Amino acid sequence: MSSGERERPDPARSEAIAKTAQVFGELKEAVILADTDRRITWVNQAFTELMGYTLDDLRGRKTEILYDRTRDNAQIGRTRHYTSRAPVKPDYMVNYRHKAGRLIRSETIGWAVRDKAGEVIGFAALIRDMDELLDLHDVMSRLYDVSSSQDMSGQEKIHAIMRIGCEYFRLPTAMVTQVQGGQCTVLHAQSTIVDLSAGMQFALSDMFCGLALSEDGPLTIADAHRGGFPALGCIAGLNQRCYIGIPLTVDKERFGTLSFSSPIARSAFSAEEVDLIKLFAAWVAQEIAITRACEELSRAASTDWLTRAASRRQFQPDLEAALVEYCTSGRQASLLMIDIDHFKQINDRFGHAAGDMALRELAERLRRLLPFGGRLYRIGGEEFACLLPDHAVGEARELALQMREAVARMRLHQPGGDLRFTVSLGIAALHRGLTVPDAWLSEADAALYAAKTAGRNRVACAGTDQVRDMFGPGRTSASRRLKLVGTRGA
């Protein structure tokens, strides 16, 4: 028969195809029939829904049109589509292409269609979409890699989990929020279609996360326009027509929400998707808890427990940073050293509890006077330091005088009488001669020593004749004196 001739209808073949179509017509899984030349003769509705092709699109065409790779079609033809009676494993994994071009990963079960005499008259295949199962396997593998990574920070892990969720749910927007009172604050966000960033705030009543918080589990909204949900402001403002969100519980308390959304409606979320967002939420909540714990430890390490001033541990890196900025950009800064006069006498007369009160009250009074950007440190027993960015020596001296006067006016009521005390202050401003933090600290410490020697309750500035005379060769070094400040009572 020439290539231009049509093949004559075979009644037996037609009957077999009709019976097969009757059996598989209502099946919810995709089924396709082809003749011995692998020309498509029939597909069911489920096939059309999965692949995008109708029977009219495919009738008489070779099955190779369906495959992602031509060599897969050829390989399957050589090993599976033959007319002998030799047994063959019926199921195999193969990738197809949707009519619109989307990749479809599938498990295919194939078998021969035979007539009453047992002769092969065609082939049938049942195609199962494995995308969801394979996607889930891929997600679990990626989540494990993220959660076990030693190179990623907590924030990087959260953002990685959000990216995985956006890809799996096929939703373009993801958010992690914290809820306090009636406000919802965005902590982490990523979106390809909406302008979202950390720190943005919304009224809880205008957010789907408010509804999610009232749920015991995930809140799923396939189409907010048809689901009977209120017309919340977030639908328009954040383009949330489709939404899946879940409360986050951190340290046994409701913290906020994790959500994924899209401006386009979709089919109902599957049970697997609901289970997966629970897993996402557990990992995100864990990273938030770990980050909070680390931040608390860092704050504790960098903050003096008694006065709440920054600690000596934080003082050194801040001093180095200010010096580097001065050397690179010329940004001025001054350093104040502050020491309580006769502190040992306070402890001896009023007791150590009163001494602790004096330290706390002094720190609070100094903090009130600090300018924007200034920071207070407790670097020894009764010795404090202030780092003053953008302050030349004259401005620093005016502030030091205010501090001295404010402390001199303080009255702390005690059973043995009012507790009053004074402070001495030393100032050193940055200049080109300073190349290391210890040199800057030495100048400020020398100025403090000069103020003490001159009678206490005074302010002295580095660079004056008085300071050079007081802190000449043979004097104790700044690093040595810092080691002794905790025991010094003068």
By the 8 A CB rule, do 486 and 380 touch?
yes
**Cross-strand partners of 186:** 177
Cα–Cα dist 274/217, whole Å: 9
Q: Catalytic: which of 273, 287, 382, 383?
A: 382
Cα–Cα dist 376/304, whole Å: 10
Task: Report the SS3 class of residue 425.
Answer: strand
In degrees and rounded to multiples of 5, residue 421 shows phi and psi of -155, 170
Q: Report the side by side order of strands in the sheet with 91-97.
A: 40-43, 30-34, 120-129, 103-114, 91-97
Cα–Cα dist 244/274, whole Å: 8
Cα–Cα dist 366/61, whole Å: 86
Give how far Cα 31 sits from Cα of 20, 90, 95, 311, 320, Å.
10, 14, 16, 72, 72
In degrees and rounded to multiples of 5, residue 78 shows phi and psi of -75, -35
Strands 423-429 and 459-461 come out as parallel
Cα–Cα dist 378/384, whole Å: 4
Strands 91-97 and 103-114 come out as antiparallel
Give yes or no: 64 in active site.
no
First-to-last C-alpha distance (Å) of the chain: 117
Give how far Cα 267 sits from Cα of 30, 172, 243, 270, Å.
19, 16, 11, 9
Q: Which active-site residues does the annotation give?
A: 382
